Amino acid sequence: MSYSFFMENKWILPLFVSLIITLLSLAAAAKPALPPVFIFGDSTADVGTNNFLPHSMARADFPPNGIDFPGGPNPTGRFSNGLNSADFLARLFGYKRSPSPFLSFKYSSLQKKMFNGINFASGGSGLLDITGRTMLTLMKFGTGNIPLGVSFRNQQKHVISLTDQMHQFSSVKNNLTTLMGVKPTEKYLKGSLIFISIGSNDLFAYYHSKSSIPKEDFLCSLELAYENHLKTLYDLGARKFGIISVAPIGCCPSQKIFNATEGCLEELNEYAIAFHLKLEALLCKLSTEYEDFMYSLGNSYEMTINVIQNPLLFNFTEVESACCGSGKLNAESFCKQGSNLCSDRNQYLFWDRFHPSQAASKLAAITLFSGGQPFVSPVNFYQLAMA
């Protein structure tokens, strides 16, 4: 399975040359300081993975994305005016920002870097491998109501599915084992933090494809997929899981424009709540099944709805429309050059029609790191790291 995966992906092979270099520098830099951080998921955590997929339309590597990036405007591929939650989480753990995308690892850029982790997240991906393809179909034949752009060319990779992200992580583990040996690799992975932020695209695709699959069956299939991915990571040696559930996605500007009163799409929000409950039950089960399985579950729904209901408490003045876009709620088109752009970007909850602003991402990361119930449980991400 891995073999054909690598053969099919010509960008993977040169990558390993650079990984070897990276891993060697890891082996050399013996002092364990910060916990290594491995990040999986969709556009909420993508820090440039899709820039390496020429046929992906779920990309943000053009202005005005990145307009507030630290050090000056820089469209890195993040779906944000600056950093995203993956960056702020990494920062709270002592790093400058998120580790680089797996696909970016290059000989030259890595010599100086310590091996602190990798970001595998890819915009447009879902728990189910078919999520990207569903959206493709919707775009071709559907309502035009597509959450994230996807390529028309089915043959080309337009997203790194969560399954592919697992394959990539597995290859990293193999490389670590070759370089450090079995025991040190085990120890290294045991102390690593695994962050996963995924699920929104599955719910969007299900909702907008008007699937005939009953809601409960669909949610169970998501839970099962999550279980399989988590077991894969556990079997590879990961033990500490920081899981971020789905926000009230019916309140995204892109969805509100389909409500005549511009309120939230309640059905999508109900999916998000139901998804969280499933996730809670799943994680509880896994932690009893596997004694050393540790987790922290962030309740994105509660966190975000709290801000939407009390914006001023969090210094937001605009929680309805997107900062960058056009049309109704500034949400009828993607954020691109020439879009309407708000000036008070720190006061906007939404950067574009789907994604939180840098300010909102920062708030979310702080809550995950140091918050308590009902926003993050049974422990927060800091306590998870210390456990």
Q: Which residue is nearest to ligand NAG (CB)?
A: 263
- Does a cis peptide bond (omega within 30 degrees of 0) precede residue 356? no
* Residue 175: Cβ-neighbour burial (10 angstroms; 0-12, 13-18, 19+): middle
What residues make contact with ligand NAG under the rule CB under 6 A? 6, 16, 20, 171, 174-175, 178, 259, 261, 263, 265-267, 314-315
CB of 338 to ligand NAG, least distance (A): 30
**Would you say 246 and 272 are in contact if contact means Cβ atoms under 8 Å apart?**
yes
Minimum CB distance to ligand NAG, residue 265 (Å): 4
Give the nearest distance from C-beta 178 to ligand NAG in angstroms: 3
- The per-residue DSSP string of 107-127 comes to HHHHTT----EEE---TT--S
Of residues 33 and 260, the one with the C-beta less far from ligand NAG: 260
Q: Which is nearer to ligand NAG, 42 or 302 (CB)?
A: 302
User: Whole-number minimum distance, CB 212 to ligand NAG, in Å?
Assistant: 19
- DSSP symbol at 329: G
Among residues 94, 20, 164, the alpha carbon closest in space to that of 381 is found at 94
Our CB check for ligand NAG shows the closer of 295 and 316 to be: 316
Token digits for 262? 């511009």
Report the residue number, 97 or 167, with the smaller CB distance to ligand NAG: 167
DSSP-derived secondary structure for 260-322: TT----HHHHHHHHHHHHHHHHHHHHHHHHSTT-EEEEE-HHHHHHHHHHSGGGGT-SEEEEE
Q: Could you count the other beta carbons within 10 Å of the beta carbon of residue 168?
A: 23
Best CA proximity match to 252, nearest among 241, 265, 240, 261: 265
Cα separation, 198 vs 186, whole angstroms? 26
CB of 219 to ligand NAG, least distance (A): 18
- Whole-number minimum distance, CB 213 to ligand NAG, in Å? 20
CB of 250 to ligand NAG, least distance (A): 7
Round to whole Å and give the CA distance between 76 and 240.
28
Report in angstroms how near the CB of residue 234 gets to ligand NAG at its nearest. Answer: 20
Looking at the Cβ atoms of 95 and 314, the one nearer to ligand NAG is: 314
Comparing CB distances to ligand NAG, the nearer of 21 and 60 is: 21
Q: Which sign, positive or negative, has the C-alpha torsion 138, 143, 148, 153?
A: positive
Q: Which is nearer to ligand NAG, 264 or 279 (CB)?
A: 264
For residue 202, which of 186, 188, 220 has the smallest C-alpha distance? 220
Based on CB atoms, which residue is closest to ligand NAG, 178 or 373?
Answer: 178
